[in-house]
Amino acid sequence: MKGITAIIGMVVCFVVIVVGIIILGGDVMDFLNLPSVLLVVVPTVAATVSAFPMSVLMKVPGHFKVLLGQEYQPTEYIDKIVSLSEKARKEGLLAFEKEQVEDQLMQYALRMMVDGLDKFSVKFALEDCINGIKERHNEGVAIYDKDAAFAPAFGM
C-alpha cells in the first residue's frame, strides 16, 4: 500500500502544479524544457554513479520492489511470536522444526532455538543480523541522499 500512496501523492502534486500553471495563464510547455531536464538529470545520475561502486548501484531496482511491495505490519509479527510462544509452551521447542515462517530472520531465530542455543547466543546472532540489515539499508539510503544533494547543484 505504501507504494500506491507514494504514486498517488506524486500524481496529485503533478496535477496541482499543471493546474496552477494554467490558472496563472502560463504555458505548461515553458516548464518542460528538454535541454534543462537533460542538464539536471543526466549529470545527477552520472555524479551518483561515480560516487558508488557498481555492487551498490545494482541494488537500486530492488529498492523499487520494496517501495511497491507489501507494507510492513508489526502486529502480524507480534501475533506470530505470541502464537509461537504458546506452541513452545505446550509442545516444546522441537515443535518449531515443522513451523514455516516467511520472515527469514524469524526462521533463523527458530532454527537456533531448536538447535538448543542459549538465549544470549540467539540474541547476539540476531543483533548481528539486524546490524547487517541496517548497514545494507543505510547504504541504499546514501544513494538517494547523494541524488538529493547533487540535483539542486546541477539545477542551478
10-67: pLDDT as tens digits: 899 888 888 888 887 777 777 777 888 888 889 999 999 999 999 999 998 888 887 7
Same domain, yes or no: 5 and 20: yes
Same domain, yes or no: 6 and 57: no
Same domain, yes or no: 26 and 37: no
- The range of the structural domain enclosing residue 70 comes to 33-156
Q: Which of 134-142's residues contact partners 24+ apart within 8 Å by CB, and which partners?
A: 139/56, 139/59, 140/56, 140/59, 140/60, 140/63, 142/52
Single out the residue of 69, 127, 125 nearest to residue 102, CA to CA.
69
Collapse the DSSP code of 102 into the 3-class scheme (helix H, G, I; strand E, B; otherwise coil) and give the result. coil
Same domain, yes or no: 120 and 57: yes
Same domain, yes or no: 27 and 38: no
Same domain, yes or no: 8 and 49: no
Q: How far is CA 79 from the centre of its chain?
A: 23
39 and 154 Cβ atoms separated by less than 8 Å: yes
Domain count, the chain: 2
pTM of the model: 0.64
Tell me, what's the pLDDT at 86? Answer: 87
What CA–CA distance (Å, rounded) separates 51 from 34? 25
Average pLDDT on 120-140 reads: 93
Same domain, yes or no: 77 and 142: yes
Same domain, yes or no: 65 and 139: yes
What CA–CA distance (Å, rounded) separates 25 from 6? 29
- In this model, does residue 79 exceed pLDDT 70? yes
Same domain, yes or no: 61 and 104: yes
